[in-house]
Each structure stands twice: as C-alpha cells, then as structure tokens.
Amino acid sequence: MTQEVKDLIDQGKMLPLMEEFYTIQGEGYHTGKAAYFIRIGGCDVGCHWCDVKESWNADLHPPTLADRIIENAKKYSDTVVITGGEPLMWSMDYLTQALNKQGVKTHIETSGAYTFSGTWDWFCLSPKKTKLPLEEIYKEADELKMIIHNKSDFQFAEEHASKVHKDCVLFLQPEWSKREKMTPLIVDYVMKNPKWKISLQTHKYLNIP
C-alpha cells in the first residue's frame, strides 16, 4: 500500500469496501425501508455468531475512493446504511458529509467500540460483550439494538439501556441461530417491560440481502 493510499484512508477519502447493494432494511426502527447498504471491511469485535465474518479482515477488501461509493449510492436511494465490519474503525466524516450534501440520509450500525466520527441522521448502537462501547457513544444513539443469544443477555441489555438518552428507541433482537428458542422469551420480556420493542431479521425471512 502506497503512502498516498494510506493518507487517503486516514482522511476517510478511501475506505476498505467489502460490498455495496440496494435492498430493504431488515432490522430495527427502519425495518421495511429501501436503503443502499455500504459494508466496510475491518472488525476486531469478534462476535462468534457474526454472519459476515469475511468482513473482519480489512486487508481482504480493496481501498475504494469514497467519491465512487457516493456516486453509486445516490443513484439508488435517499438513504444509506453504513455497516460492517465495524465502520467506526475508519473516519466517517468525509463520506457522510458528502452524502448529506447530495441530500442522502446517513444511517450507521455500529458496536460503538471506536471513536465517534461522521454526521448521522440515524445512529443504531448494538453493543457487544467482547468489546464494549466507548462512553462517548451512548449519547449519540437514536436506537439501541441488543442481540439476545442467551438469557443473560437480557441483563446485559438493561445495563446498556440505562446509559442511552430517554428518546433512544430500545430493541431486543433474537440471534438468528437461536431464534426459535429465544423469541418466545423476548416476547414475554417485552410484554413485562414495554419500554422495549422486538426487532426481527426480516430480510432473512424474505431471503434478501
């Protein structure tokens, strides 16, 4: 990698792009909304149930000019979802500001384990036990999405719900491989604790990306 490319990556003007595609948001508050997804490579959070482990090694994904990503995105939708991997491993300032100038809304899905960057119309925080969010991140969250893999995750969810602001929308989502076991427990929990809502991975039921 040349020094020029390294400098552009540091500035957020190039990013390790894994994939980009136009689809329907399948999870959380904006479920059902058409959006252009930008998946950035690189993640060291290490969720054992991650369904995109191929995103973890940023070196496998070519540094791509942010301007090219922006040109592609604006052809398809007025909303982009930037995900990973862990997108906050990289500076999101240039990409998001340029998208906003084009009239495109910017959403992020992040573990919150890295320093905040970017300008966001919607900030979805999904904390993981393996690498916790930075304290500065909680105040940014519009949505808290907690993945429920086992019973102890309900307490983990409550710990993080206590840190976000009062208008943050709270979601519990069954981990896909445990959905048959955990969904009934989530339904019961939400009925007893109605500050929470249920999120499902509807894109998987619909068999779309």
Residue range 54-94, pLDDT digits in tens: 999 999 999 999 999 999 999 999 999 999 999 999 999 99
The three-class DSSP label of residue 86 is coil
The reported pLDDT for the residue numbered 166 is 97
Rounded Cα–Cα distance for residues 118 and 88 (Å): 9
pTM for the full predicted model: 0.96
The reported pLDDT for the residue numbered 1 is 82
The reported pLDDT for the residue numbered 120 is 98
Going from the N-terminus, what domains does the chain have, and what CATH number goes with each?
3-206 (3.20.20.70)
**DSSP string of 104-168, one letter each residue:** -EEEEEE---S---S--SEEEE--BTTBPPPGGGGGG-SEEEEEESSTHHHHHHHHHHTTS-TT-
Q: Name the residue with tokens 């993640």.
A: 43
Amino acid, res. 13: K
The reported pLDDT for the residue numbered 118 is 98
The reported pLDDT for the residue numbered 105 is 98
Q: Name the residue with tokens 């240039």.
A: 94
The reported pLDDT for the residue numbered 42 is 96
Rounded Cα–Cα distance for residues 58 and 41 (Å): 5
Rounded Cα–Cα distance for residues 179 and 202 (Å): 12
pLDDT in tens, 131-181: 999 999 999 999 999 999 999 999 999 999 999 999 999 999 999 999 999
Q: How far is CA 171 from CA 8, 33, 124, 145, 195, in A?
A: 36, 17, 10, 5, 9
Look at residue 51 and tell me whether its pLDDT is greater than 90.
Answer: no
Q: Which residues, 6+ apart, have CB-to-CB distance to 30 below 8 Å?
A: 79, 107, 122
The reported pLDDT for the residue numbered 126 is 98
pLDDT in tens, 105-134: 999 999 999 999 999 999 999 999 999 999
pLDDT in tens, 10-33: 999 999 999 999 999 999 999 999
The reported pLDDT for the residue numbered 48 is 86
